[in-house]
Amino acid sequence: MTPLKYLWIFLLCSLPICAQQKREIINLETLSERARLLASQPYKAPKKKIPDELKKLTYDDYRNIRFRPSEALWWNSEIPFHVEFFHPGHIHQDLIDVYEISDTHSQKIPFLRQAFKYEKSNYDPGLLSQPSGYAGIRIKYPLNDPKVFDELVVFQGASYFRALGKNQVYGLSLRGISMNTTGDSEDFPKFTKLWLQKPPPESKTLKIFALLEGKKVTGAYEFELVPNGRTRIDVRAQLYYRQDGREEVGFAPMTSMFAFGENTEMKHNDWRPEVHDSDGLLIHSDREWIWHALDNIEGRNVKYFPAAKLNGYGLLQRDRAYHNYKDLEAAYQKRPSAWIEPRRHWKNGAVVLYTFYTANETVDNVVAFWKPDLSPDQETPEKLEYSIYLQLTEPEHELARVLETRIGGRTLDSSQQTIVIEFSRPDNITINEIELLSVDFRTGDLEVTGQPVIQYSQPEDRIRVFADFKTSSQKETIDLSARLLKDGHIISEKWSYTWSP
């Protein structure tokens, strides 16, 4: 056992720390009562501050503050989850209180600077006042190799968290809640406290509780992590609103990045064919499947997809071919898709897609969330349950899938554009039946020249739809859609696209 490990044990067993250990039951119900009491009072911003020296750290300096893996919570036990802690500094200035809990007790985990390496950070903690909390947590689990602990979930910053499954690398982020995301000034409620429920040895699940605090909303959250190839996170939450909070809330949000893809007309000055963490938004509503292909278009853009019965939605990385990215370091083909399935029945509402232009792949410019139809005078708390799946595969259905979207100038006619949509060929559609299909193609105000054409693409065993239209001079974006029909019945996902002339 290392000297630092003895130090952890000593500190956790010393009188001042033991005074923080108390008999307390932490679950969704007890946390909900805390959230309710907070919502009944005026909002107070957290008072916890970090030393100025930590605020001044550069990005590289901050990255060079390293947590010692041997100091992780549950490191020297049979529990297959290890919890590491993020040091505050640089842009990560919000402090989180972290607790370990059992069925009856709760104990705060103290900040220990001895658990970090500072050698290459240009920061000397010395005798400076130390922070009173951490900037977040990293949970590790043997995802890919029974002997290697990989990153599973990270909670850091506001209500953001990221998660991985087997053979995945970090891409999109998840959030506990969104507030006024499409407005002029977005609000970012924060997870201010996290409780880690100590699991029994060799447990395959881990439960985390979180307290959310914001200007117009408070909430209690329960996260149950189930790493099993594709990682599943079961979420239960209870929300309480202050004035106008219901009007701004978005449920189960996720944030991603799309810089350019095969459909982007004006590509960046870049050697790679495509750069994106997600390439589309998939929605399953009632019996309809909608695929909205992402693009990086100018300005801020908001699109609503109303749904009376939502079965699921998510930002997906559908393109899994390395040769479409050719980035050995970023490995965009391994970025996880996030699929959300409501538990119980969610209220009517709409999936909202908010995008804005970015010239930098380090900026997340895509947000998707569920906007419920809530009564402004509702007095009861909002109860929310859903599951998140982090996976390299997709939700199963028998329809033709949208695989590619391409738009460009028509050959030998600069006054026209051509749009090409490629669908997979379902097993129940033979090659000879493709010529019998029709397409429901909706092009808004675009002037289409001739009828859309359906072809069989033999090299890739796909169904191709293409149409020519007059180049538009208008500046507003245009919403397009298409779906394949056989004898009047829908046999494909509904392709949806926002085109910027």
* Token duo for residue 153: 């979930």
CA 211/CA 492 separation, integer angstroms: 42
pLDDT, position 20: 60
Query: Is beta strand 258-260 parallel, antiparallel or unpaired with respect to 275-276?
Result: antiparallel
Residue 122 has pLDDT above 90, yes or no: no
Please give the pLDDT value at position 17.
Answer: 37
Q: What percent of the chain has pLDDT over 70?
A: 95
Higher pLDDT, 337 or 6: 337
Kindly report the three-state secondary structure assignment for every residue of 117-167: ECCCCCCCCCCCCCCCCECEEEEEEEEEECCEEEEEEEEECCCEEEECCCC
Q: Kindly report, residue by residue over 27-79, the tens digit of the pLDDT.
A: 999 999 999 999 999 999 887 788 888 999 999 999 999 999 999 999 999 99
- Asked if residue 13 has pLDDT above 60, the reply is no
Query: Is residue 148 over pLDDT 70?
Result: yes
With contact defined as beta carbons under 8 Å apart, do 230 and 393 qualify?
A: yes
Mean of pLDDT over the chain: 91
Q: Do 311 and 340 touch, CB atoms closer than 8 A?
A: no
Whether pLDDT at 451 is above 80: yes
Least confident of 2-6, 402-406, 486-490: 2-6
- The count of residues in the chain is 501
What pLDDT score was predicted for residue 310? Answer: 95
DSSP label at 69? G
Q: Residue 2 pLDDT more than 60?
A: no
* Higher per-residue confidence, 426 vs 130: 426
Q: Mapped to the 3 state alphabet, what secondary structure does 257-295 carry?
A: CEEECCCCCCCCCCCCCCEECCCEEEEEECCEEEEEECC
Which two tokens mark 14?
């010393």
Closest CA to 143 of 163, 158, 121, 115: 163
Note the pTM of the prediction, 2 decimals. 0.93
Does residue 389 sit in helix, strand or coil? strand
Q: Give residue 129's pLDDT.
A: 66
Looking at the chain, the whole-number percentage of residues with pLDDT higher than 90 is: 76
Residues pairing with 179 in the sheet: 187, 249
pLDDT > 70? residue 3: no
Task: Tell me: pLDDT of 4 over 50.
Answer: no
Give the tens place of pLDDT for each residue, 217-247.
Answer: 999 999 999 998 899 999 999 999 998 899 9
Cα 186 to its chain centre, rounded Å, is 17
Q: What is the pLDDT of residue 33?
A: 97
Q: Could you tell me the end-to-end alpha-carbon distance of the chain, in angstroms, rounded to an integer?
A: 65
State how far the alpha carbon of 449 is from the alpha carbons of 251, 407, 467, in Å: 42, 15, 8
Task: State the Cα angle at 423 between 318 and 482, rounded to 5°.
Answer: 105
* 157-161, 178-182, 299-303, 345-349: least confident range: 345-349
- CA-closest candidate to residue 353, choices 304, 405, 412: 304
User: pLDDT (tens digit, 9 = 90+) per residue, 413-433?
Assistant: 888 889 999 999 999 999 999
